[in-house]
Amino acid sequence: MTIGEGENLETIRKKLKELLVKNLAFLSELDPLKIKDDEILFGDGLGLDSLDAVEIVVLLQRNFGLDVRDMKRGREIFYSIDTLSRFIYENTRK
């Protein structure tokens, strides 16, 4: 999945939801369209866990060329669909 120049936040959110549903077994039965934009990824939100967190690191790397190795920072970035989409949006803009 690539993000073209000028893709807006909305498109990124949609692609991100599809990406997560496709790759994370815990979300596999969800309809990406029904995931809320402000949905929290971990714990009481979508219920993802620490192994999913490192899997998302790899998904970001492979799909957006983004490196998030610092998991302390990752915690803020990975908070919700929204925060993660914004991170991708801001870091893939030329």
Partner 1 sequence: MEVGITGLGVLSAAGSNMHKTLETFRQGKRNAGPVTLFFTSLSYPVFEAKSFQPVKDQNQMRSLGLCLRAVEEALRSAGFWDGLATRRVGVCLGTTVASQLNDIEFYKTYRDSGKVLTEPVDRYLHGNLAGAVASVLKTQGPSLTVVNACTSGADAIGVALSWLRAGLCDVAIAGGADELNRVPLCGFGSLGILSDSLCAPFDKNRNGLNLGEGAGILVLETEKSSQARKKKVSLWLRGYGAANDAYHLTAPAPEGTGLEKSIRLALSEAGIGAQDVSFVNAHGTATQDNDRVEGAVLSRVFGKKVPFYSTKGFTGHTLGAAGGLEAAFSAAALYEGWIPQCAGFQTLDDGIAIAPTRKKTTVTGHYAVSTSLGFGGNNVALVIECVKFDGAAPWTQ
Partner 2 sequence: MDPMNIAGIGVLCSHGRGVARFEQALNESRVPSTAPASCHRIPSEVLEDREVLWDIRRADRFSKIAVLGAYDAMRDGDSRDGSVGIIVCTGLGPHATTFRFLDDILDYGDASVSPTIFSHSIHNAAASYIAKILKCTGPTLTVTQFHFSFQQALLLAGAWMSEGRCEHVLVGCVEECGSVMESIYGYKLKVGTNSGMHLSACGNKSSTGLGEGSVFFLVTSDPARRKYGVFSDVSLDGEPCVEERPDLCIIENDDATVDPGIPIVEFSPIFGHMMTGSGFQCAAAALMLRNQVAYACPSSDVSDGPNVIVETKPMAIREILCIKYDCKRLRSCVKLNK
Residues that bind partner 1 (CB under 8 A): 49-51, 53-54, 57-58, 69, 71
CA distances from 83 to 17, 29, 52 (A): 13, 23, 16
CB of 31 to partner 1, least distance (A): 27
Provide the token pair at 31.
Answer: 């309809």
Q: How far is the CB of 72 from partner 1 (least distance, A)?
A: 9
In the complex, which residues of this chain contact partner 2 (CB under 8 A)? 24-26, 28, 51-52, 54-55, 58, 61-62
Q: Which is nearer to partner 2, 8 or 50 (CB)?
A: 50
Closest CA to 75 of 93, 50, 39: 50
Could you say which of partner 1, partner 2, none residue 1 binds, taking C-beta under 5 to 8 angstroms by partner kind? none
CA distance 22 to 65: 18
